[in-house]
Structure 1
């Protein structure tokens, strides 16, 4: 099974502002109008790339950016395609009632995790205003996918880009599963080191795996393997910011082309490739699945 662990729901103009779309696509070669993932386009991209399932993300940045991709919208898409979409809610801890909104999204809407955007909301992920949200996620047994690393959004606060800010959260919530988005780009080595210190942390390769030179991606994967955390990395694209078809092809190359890898490092083995491209995500989502949520049949927590 191939699972894209980081896909944005939402459509240009209907959800994203023109200003935000222009900023976010400025360095991608895309037009702002391409920052859109309507249902038919998303399913067609998945089919073309051979992707079985995606983690589909809500995105609450209304307080700062003036828009959101609502939890209800994501839940409706997941309800129509439960075999293809697993939905994550999004809440803003800078607004009252965030923890209650997360609980409602999981228990009433059937969503399976939480997406947070700390730097977009001009808040550290370790800001204490998040703590009742984390407590709720830990209580519900759902993972938290946190944006880490750079973003071209001009309203985002660069003080909160670093993945190392998440270490305090991991200390304070030892039972919480956290996925660091984008491998903390450009702080990828620090992100891997953080995973090595904190066993409940994971990271996804979205944007990093799609746009960095393949040799750079291979070097990061080799470092993760040597650090003992390759089995906690998840393939993802950040679609529609990057194509699934192109990223799948790049990842397949990393399983075959020795020339991309650092001296002394082998390409991805078949088990490593299959874990990275979906096996790890499948196990992670299955461990946190409960009846009524989109996802996979549940299995006992290890």
Structure 2
């Protein structure tokens, strides 16, 4: 991957359809998500199509699906398929995996195999969709393996469009996505790199508190148009968290074109923009060397 040729790294995109046409979510949940994002009729691009889309824009993208088989009963898109498809486009795609924490030891073995044999660079968790609290000890063996493997864990935080408007929210409990629950994970796994995905409505201040307190907790800005970002998020991104905030779109329900156009209108310092768009992600994902700290 030629970092110098990239204008941005999108750390949050979804593989919504498998090679056999299998969707990552059930039709009801997919329809609810599309309605929430006002994206009815949006195409579900294949990973090959995603690669072409990002290559045209001189961007790289982190790609993942969500394994929520325990909660939803809906079979996942295989992590191996996502990784192999991304490996065919190493100039623009970076594979993450998703493992349902309810899979226990089998999930831990899978995580190790995916990193060592398939080149997976991180893991995605969606606590509300997967039906677990991030601080539940059932997930701790999986966190331990991910920490040892030296790759990041990305947690959905805040409200979700999945299940929105469905009776009972489709059984999805929003409280599992309070970023304060991830604070325990950051304490108990102090070397684990953690990404809090999305502006964390209605817990934005909690997310900022965790990210400023824990040195290896980052925030991605996906899932919202930047014009709707709360002012405190913009303020922290410009100052205290300028090295820990990451560009993410939530493609395909929100495109990087839309996100970047609205981001251009924010009052972000010129020196901070390239950090958010590319440099912070390159460092976190091990695509660029970590700069040495200047001695005090």
Give the alignment's TM-score, normalised by structure 1: 0.84
1:159 Cα deviation after fit: 2.4
1:216 Cα deviation after fit: 3.4
- 2:218 matches 1:202: yes
- Specify the alignment match of 1:240 in structure 2: 252
Which residue, out of 150, 153, 156, partners 2:172? 156
* Counterparts of residues 77-116 of structure 1 (less than 5 Å): 77-96=85-104, 97-116=106-125
- 2:11 matches 1:5: yes
On the 8 A contact 1:149/1:182 being kept in 2, the answer is: yes
- Specify the alignment match of 2:67 in structure 1: 60
- 2:277 matches 1:270: no
On the 8 A contact 1:75/1:87 being kept in 2, the answer is: yes
**Tell me, which stretches of 5 or more residues in structure 1 are unaligned?**
255-266, 287-295
1:103 Cα deviation after fit: 0.5
1:230 Cα deviation after fit: 2.5
- Specify the alignment match of 1:260 in structure 2: none
On the 8 A contact 2:51/2:93 being kept in 1, the answer is: no
- Specify the alignment match of 1:262 in structure 2: none
Which secondary structure does the structure 2 equivalent of 1:126 belong to? Answer: coil
* Counterparts of residues 143-182 of structure 1 (less than 5 Å): 143-152=152-161, 153=163, 154-182=170-198
Change (3 A) 1:274 1:300: closer
Runs of at least 4 residues of structure 1 off by over 3 A? 215-219, 223-226, 297-302
CA distance in structure 2 between the aligned counterparts of 1:51 and 1:69, rounded to whole angstroms:
27
Give the alignment's TM-score, normalised by structure 2: 0.86
On the 8 A contact 2:238/2:269 being kept in 1, the answer is: no
Change (3 A) 1:157 1:35: farther
Which secondary structure does the structure 2 equivalent of 1:14 belong to? Answer: coil
Moved more, 244-253 or 58-67: 58-67
- Specify the alignment match of 1:257 in structure 2: none
- Specify the alignment match of 1:71 in structure 2: 79
Superposition RMSD in Å: 2.1
Moved more, 199-208 or 178-187: 178-187
CA distance in structure 1 between the aligned counterparts of 2:55 and 2:139, rounded to whole angstroms:
37
On the 8 A contact 2:108/2:142 being kept in 1, the answer is: yes
Moved more, 277-286 or 58-67: 58-67
- Specify the alignment match of 2:262 in structure 1: 250
- 2:44 matches 1:36: yes
CA distance in structure 1 between the aligned counterparts of 2:53 and 2:204, rounded to whole angstroms:
28
Residues 145-193 of structure 1 show CA distances to partners (whole Å, capped at 9, x for unaligned) of: 0111111322322221211110111111111110011132332122111
Which secondary structure does the structure 2 equivalent of 1:98 belong to? Answer: helix
Residues 54-77 of structure 1 show CA distances to partners (whole Å, capped at 9, x for unaligned) of: 011132112222131221121112
